[in-house]
């Protein structure tokens, strides 16, 4: 792993130790847009309709998986991990890029089932506006792309697993706008091909066909291309 990759790996693992609850302060955005104030967050934990969906669900269109924990989930989605999604899925399920970007750092050398913090396999994409999407608990050998590689939204980039601190096979997905020695700070994210765009609670979440999101996502994709 590169020096940059090691730095991001350390930030990721530090961020896995979270504190319960949700902060009430503004949520900053990576691209310079005004911070998201708590008044436009649903329950302090998720984007209201006024926040644009910029991502697609990180699994195959037509598939549906159980959302076992969403934003501010009581088990582990607090503190810097408050804006996160856990999707229960069989090990080796395809994991898709939720947005176009560049592979920032990867790790996939750890076996599944250790249940130890720090054993997580993961992949981080950097997007044109500086936001980072993170795909965690991947299977050993499950990363299918290389650092520095450019990917498009919907590309298969990894295989899900059960690595690190994980009680069952699932994919943890979140979006962060900054990473430091004390971890990565997650920010609200919503999906172009989910109904509702930001799933909450527990239940099945279906990835709608990407064509269904084509009109709504045209502006976001054009913006990504213009920043490339």
Between CA 219 and CA 134 the distance in angstroms is 23
225 secondary structure, DSSP code: H
Please, what is the Cα angle at 28 between 26 and 31, to 5 degrees?
155
Name the pTM for this structure: 0.77
Contact 23, 30 (CB under 8 A): no
- Residue 101's pLDDT is 97
Cα-Cα end-to-end distance for the chain: 24
Which stretches of the chain score pLDDT less than 70? 1-51, 70-81, 212-228
Q: What is the pLDDT of residues 137-158, one digit of tens each?
A: 999 999 999 999 999 999 999 9
d(CA 186, CA 21): 14
Please give the pLDDT value at position 129: 94
pLDDT at 28: 46
Map residue 219 onto helix, strand or coil.
helix
Helix, strand, coil percentages, rounded to 5, for the chain: 15, 30, 50
Q: E strands of 92-169, at which residues?
A: 94-96, 101-107, 122-126, 132-136, 138-143, 150-151, 156-160
- Tokens 């940059």 correspond to 4
Structure tokens at 35: 């911070």
- Give me the domains of the chain, ranges plus CATH numbers: 3-227 (2.70.70.10)
């Amino acid at each position: 792993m590169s020096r940059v990759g090691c730095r991001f790996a350390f930030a990721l693992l530090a961020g896995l130790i979270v504190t319960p609850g949700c902060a009430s302060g503004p949520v900053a955005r990576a691209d310079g847009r005004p911070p998201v104030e708590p008044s436009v967050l649903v329950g302090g934990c998720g984007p209201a309709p006024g926040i644009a969906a910029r991502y697609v669900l990180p699994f195959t269109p037509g598939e549906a998986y159980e959302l076992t924990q969403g934003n501010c989930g009581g088990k582990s989605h607090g503190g810097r991990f408050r804006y996160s999604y856990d999707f229960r899925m069989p090990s080796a399920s395809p994991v898709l890029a939720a947005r176009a970007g560049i592979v920032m750092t990867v790790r996939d050398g750890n076996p599944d089932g250790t249940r130890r913090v720090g054993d997580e396999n993961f992949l981080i994409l950097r997007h044109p506006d500086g936001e980072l999407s993170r795909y965690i608990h991947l299977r050993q050998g499950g990363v299918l792309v290389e650092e520095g590689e450019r990917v498009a939204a919907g590309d298969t980039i990894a295989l899900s697993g059960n690595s690190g601190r994980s009680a069952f096979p699932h994919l943890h997905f979140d979006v962060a706008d900054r990473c430091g020695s004390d971890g990565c700070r997650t920010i609200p994210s919503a999906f172009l091909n989910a109904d509702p765009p930001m799933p909450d609670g527990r239940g099945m979440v279906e990835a709608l066909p990407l064509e269904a999101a084509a009109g709504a996502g045209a502006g976001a994709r054009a913006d990504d291309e213009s920043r490339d």
